[in-house]
Amino acid sequence: MVGAGPGYAADEDTDFRKFLAETPWIRRIVYRRSLSYERVGAADRPGAPEELLPRLHVLGEYEGAWQPKGWYLRCFMDILYPLYSPQTGWLFTNVPEPGLEYVIGANEEYQWRISPGHAVVTIDPLPGRPGHVGSMGIVHAHYESQLRRMLRLGLDLMGLGRLAWQDERSFTVEPSVLTGAYKWPNPGGIGEIVRLDELGRPLEVVYQVRGSAPDTPPVRVLYSYKEGVRFPPHGILVFEEVPGEGLVVHTNYIDELVMGLDPQASRGYYPEQFRSTRVPLSRLLVWSNLTRYEITRDGQWTPAPAPAYEPLPEEVSSRFVRNVLFGVVMLGLLAAGWMWWRFRRVAGGRSGDAGPS
């Protein structure tokens, strides 16, 4: 749900421990988050086993806010943009030009998306509202979850459950259950600050995810800071041991963080606050009562046809392949037999013509 979870108007004394115990409202955040967190599965044909693509160790770049009545996220670089080719690897040819990035958000009335290039705006009912489309809600839940996880400062592998400090250094994270279609694991866990700098700022945190195997090494998080800045940390390196993969390092940066209430977002964020005015709006799509409508320039609601679906070619059955190969072999044998018979006949004829004179 929009703005779900704790929130408060932060004061100047907000520090690492207070921020994690009760995340304040975020007026503006600019950050870079490793796309290595995302695992993408794909199959080369219908019905084939899905395989995980290689992790993408590239920094996603974002700008966003999280307020009581809504949120938004502008994606300068995101998993949305690259394509993967088995022959050439990851391709980055379709990143939109500055000002025309994908933007997604919500307000107290609806949730919305602006397409890369800003030619299309899509509006959906909020979760729990009549006509909400679950498949569309997955997209918003994913991006809101990603934004809120970045606010966990590298501790988000334990999930978004309530974090409570047991003493100055030790903490616990409660497991939580997410409702809806998009369920990122929120197992909880325990951790502690193991190293501070001379200013009392955390330099290293270790934590154990609840439910992990007993021999699983704890997750390590290393922090670095801009000179003269007490909070937030600038660099966040997360060292995660993944079964079957070994050590995976997730690199993250918080470049700007402004806490507090946004006077321009008393009702949340709306697409007209972000869509470029230099690009004509070609389509306005609205989901209502499980139907996608296109709003024409004269205000008419027209059901928008679903994109044409062209099924991938199905896998050729092994039986068919065997039959083809058998046929080719038999034709080859017949051709060889005919050529041998023809050669013998011609050779026999020549022998008869060359009799004694």
Angstrom distance (rounded) from CA 165 to CA 341: 93
Q: What is the pLDDT of residue 4?
A: 41
Q: Are residues 332 and 267 in the same domain?
A: no
Q: What is the pLDDT of residue 109?
A: 92
Tell me whether residue 335 is in a domain: yes
> Residue 46 is encoded by which pair of tokens?
């219908």
Angstrom distance (rounded) from CA 155 to CA 157: 6
Tell me whether residue 9 is in a domain: no
- For the chain, how many structural domains are there in total? 2
Task: Reply yes or no on whether the pLDDT at 356 is more than 50.
Answer: no
Tell me whether residue 106 is in a domain: yes
pLDDT tens digits, 44-67 = 777 788 888 888 888 999 999 999
Tell me whether residue 232 is in a domain: no
State whether residue 137 is helix, strand or coil. helix
Mean pLDDT in residue range 93-107: 88
Q: Give the Cα-Cα-Cα angle 193, 207, 60 (nearest 5 degrees).
A: 95
Residue 330 lies in domain: 321-345
Q: Are residues 61 and 116 in the same domain?
A: yes
Q: Are residues 98 and 148 in the same domain?
A: yes
Tell me whether residue 175 is in a domain: no
Q: Are residues 260 and 332 in the same domain?
A: no
Q: Are residues 68 and 119 in the same domain?
A: yes
Torsion 68-70-74-79 (CA) sign: positive
Tell me whether residue 353 is in a domain: no
pLDDT over 70, % of the chain: 78
Tell me whether residue 53 is in a domain: yes
Mean pLDDT in residue range 138-147: 88
Q: Are residues 263 and 328 in the same domain?
A: no
Half-sphere exposure of 336 (CA within 13 A, CB side): 6
Q: Which residue has the higher pLDDT, 227 or 7?
A: 227
Q: Are residues 257 and 341 in the same domain?
A: no
> pTM, whole model, 2 decimals?
0.79
Tell me whether residue 198 is in a domain: no
Q: Are residues 272 and 337 in the same domain?
A: no
**111-115 contacts, C-beta under 8 A, 24 or more apart:** 111/2, 111/136, 111/137, 111/140, 112/270, 112/271, 113/139, 113/140, 114/271, 114/274, 114/275
Rg (CA), the chain: 30
Q: What is the pLDDT of residue 95?
A: 79
Q: Are residues 46 and 73 in the same domain?
A: yes
pLDDT tens digits, 289-330 = 778 888 888 888 888 876 665 555 554 445 555 665 666 666
